[in-house]
């Protein structure tokens, strides 16, 4: 539960994406948030207040004259206790109202009378979005310090394809979770590797390992939440790409090396979380290799380049962080790798503590010694690691 104790005022305006707001409430509640819904009159034409009341467990407000609020000041009370006001979906009309400071219904009055941050997820037809008036209003909202979530582009309810779709409920939840994280890496560029590599032997076989990619993806997500521009180069994994992260898929260590070296210039931080194969077959057999009766293996192995060491050896290298997954002698091996690859920081973990699962135990090794992070979920460890990296980057 990533939103425990957070109080979210959710404004729903009139658009077909209002149906996605119902799913959004369910996901927010699942993450531990308390959700207070307010709807415009037009929104109630798409989804009834009963749906939102059932999902949020709280009465829904639509009218600024609602006598259910003791002091009759629903327009102030409903956001007074909120950590954030989220408007999803926000119609073109409602965005125009926000841009002009109108307060002629409950939700627009709440937006004007609030003292919490306002997050807006637009949803409208492509032409309404591209219209000069809407674009002018969006620029005004940005100038007023209002955060825009999306819109995305894709298929629209009207049958057209283009920009204007509301973000999916899961994406809005990710944005909200990120909103509450400290922006320790604001404006920094972070490049990461994650997952295993696959070194082909012949058309059907290869050398790989059991890395799930979970730790690397968690670090990518934590860096993105901290305000960084994140690029993730990953081997074959079945993890969903964290919202807002740019992902490049590769298969072999050589491909991962090429992709990373192409993107390393201009990065502030490089984090090698991938479990890169140390060796690959000298050549990939064109046809499936047959048993030929010889006892010796027909596969000759050659060493792969060390991606992390090569990035650390660049003329103006980013701040380089390595991972060392060991089955024993963690401190000795991790510090050895840190020295060999010339890294300021390496993160050690024992394979038996974290491989494949959602939890892990991490120990940080740098020139001054070791710091253990409290064991926990990979995402919490990733956030703690981002904090440690930000501290070291600032002191560089």
Residues that bind ligand C5P (CB under 6 A): 193, 253, 272-274, 276, 304, 306-308, 322-324, 337
Q: What is the 3-state secondary structure (H, E, C) of 266-324?
A: CCCEEEECCECCCEEECCCCCCCCCCCCCCCCCCCEEECCCHHHHHHCCCCCCEEEEEE
Min dist. Cβ of residue 270 to ligand C5P (A): 9
* Antiparallel, parallel or unpaired: β 205-207 and 199-202: antiparallel
Q: What gap in Å lies between CA 10 and CA 32, rounded to an integer?
A: 15
Tell which residue, 362, 353, 354, has the closest CA to residue 386.
362
Q: What gap in Å lies between CA 193 and CA 231, rounded to an integer?
A: 9
Min dist. Cβ of residue 335 to ligand C5P (A): 12
Q: Which is nearer to ligand C5P, 120 or 308 (CB)?
A: 308
Min dist. Cβ of residue 332 to ligand C5P (A): 13
Q: What gap in Å lies between CA 94 and CA 392, rounded to an integer?
A: 44
* Antiparallel, parallel or unpaired: β 359-360 and 376-377: antiparallel
Q: What is the 3-state secondary structure (H, E, C) of 78-144?
A: HHHCCCEEEEEEECHHHHHHHHHCCCCCHHHHHHHHCCCCEEEEECCCHHHHHCHHHHHHHHHHHHC
> Catalytic site residues?
158
Min dist. Cβ of residue 131 to ligand C5P (A): 48
Q: What gap in Å lies between CA 138 and CA 62, rounded to an integer?
A: 25
The answer for 329, left when phi > 0, alpha when psi is -120 to 50, beta otherwise, is left
Min dist. Cβ of residue 273 to ligand C5P (A): 6
Q: Which is nearer to ligand C5P, 225 or 306 (CB)?
A: 306
Give the DSSP letter of residue 179: H
Q: Which is nearer to ligand C5P, 94 or 323 (CB)?
A: 323
The answer for 129, left when phi > 0, alpha when psi is -120 to 50, beta otherwise, is alpha
Min dist. Cβ of residue 250 to ligand C5P (A): 12
Angle at the Cα of 363 from the Cα atoms of 329 and 331, rounded to 5 degrees: 25
Min dist. Cβ of residue 121 to ligand C5P (A): 36
């Amino acid at each position: 539960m990533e939103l425990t104790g957070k109080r979210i005022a959710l404004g729903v305006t009139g658009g077909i994406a209002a149906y996605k707001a119902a799913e959004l409430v369910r996901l927010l509640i699942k993450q531990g948030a308390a959700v207070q819904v307010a709807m415009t009159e037009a929104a109630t034409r798409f989804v009834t207040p009963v749906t939102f009341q059932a999902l949020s467990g709280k009465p829904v407000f639509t009218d600024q004259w609602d006598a259910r609020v003791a002091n009759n000041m629903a327009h102030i009370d409903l956001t007074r206790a909120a950590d954030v006001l989220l408007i999803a979906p926000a119609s073109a009309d409602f965005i125009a109202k926000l841009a002009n400071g109108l307060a002629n219904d409950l939700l627009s009055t709440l937006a004007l009378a609030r003292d919490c941050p306002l997050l807006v997820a637009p949803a409208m037809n492509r032409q309404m979005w591209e219209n000069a008036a809407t674009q002018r209003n969006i620029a005004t909202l940005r100038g007023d310090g209002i955060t825009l979530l999306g819109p995305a582009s894709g298929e629209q309810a009207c049958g057209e394809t283009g920009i204007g779709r509301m973000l999916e409920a899961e994406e809005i939840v990710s944005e909200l979770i990120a909103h509450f994280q400290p922006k320790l890496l604001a404006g920094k560029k972070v490049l990461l590797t994650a997952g295993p590599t696959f070194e082909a032997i012949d058309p059907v076989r290869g050398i790989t390992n059991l890395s799930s990619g979970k730790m690397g993806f968690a670090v990518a997500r934590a860096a993105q939440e901290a305000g960084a521009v994140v690029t993730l180069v990953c081997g074959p994994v079945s993890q969903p790409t964290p919202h807002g992260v740019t992902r490049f898929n590769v298969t072999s260590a050589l491909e991962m090396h090429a992709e990373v070296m192409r993107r390393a210039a201009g990065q502030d931080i490089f984090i090698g979380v991938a479990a890169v194969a140390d060796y690959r077959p000298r050549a990939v057999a064109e046809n499936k290799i047959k048993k030929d009766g010889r006892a010796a293996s027909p596969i000759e192995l050659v060493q792969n380049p060390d991606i992390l060491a090569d990035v650390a050896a660049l003329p103006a290298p980013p701040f380089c962080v390595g991972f060392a997954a060991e089955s024993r002698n963690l401190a000795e091996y991790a510090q050895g790798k840190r020295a060999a690859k010339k890294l300021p920081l390496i993160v050690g973990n024992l394979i038996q503590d974290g491989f494949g699962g959602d939890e892990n135990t991490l120990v940080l090794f740098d020139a001054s010694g070791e710091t253990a992070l409290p064991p926990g979920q990979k995402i919490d460890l990733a956030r703690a690691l981002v904090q440690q990296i930000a501290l070291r980057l600032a002191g560089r």
